[in-house]
Chain A
């Protein structure tokens, strides 16, 4: 059963606007969360992470929010740029070595 879910397979946003990608999880043992970005024919690359002891982490245009009570996290990209067009995966850690990925959301930023 999928423990990390991204319910929106795709998202289109105008350049300069905010992109919000959502992720839900079911396992309360997850204590560390990550977002990866993936271009076609390449492996995923790390984007941003957040520990369960925080509710927000920022890195430039990227901010991740964590709502533990709702078992929900989101990635905000502002402003969105055409180069941000990619598939975004959220992932959750159980312990140090087990990483569970969501199904991905394809973001298209329209110039």
Chain B
């Protein structure tokens, strides 16, 4: 049981490049989400999914795309990276939703956009 895994751990991009941050969970959780953490800002919700084929926007969705084709995976795509997207990204999963004690976070991906 690996929990929530994220790859890569670190990534450096140039402005305008695209990339996908991977997130996978092996707990058969329906709810998955992406957050970004910036200094002095706490974690902010980017996108979330309540099940395969269902996604919705969070607080800061601009510049990011998501899809959920399987229960296990929830990739986050940056189509054209900008320096403002330099951040630490956390993926999380939960049995049902963001409430309660069942939400588990991955270890994070540190992204730098030059």
Q: Using a CB–CB distance below 8 Å, which chain A residues touch chain B? A: 2, 4, 6, 32, 34, 41-46, 49, 89, 91, 93, 96-104
Contacts and interface: CB of A to CB of B under 8 A. Distances in A.
Given A91-B43, A97-B33, A97-B97, 4 more contacts: A93-B98, A98-B45, A98-B98, A101-B35
A24 to B, nearest CB: 13
A98 B101 contact: no
Contacts of A89: 42-43
Given A89-B43, A97-B48, A103-B40, A41 B107 contact: yes
B97 A101 contact: no
Interface residues of B, number: 30
A96 B97 CA distance: 6
B74 interface: no
A78 to B, nearest CB: 21
A41 B108 CA distance: 7
B99 A32 contact: yes
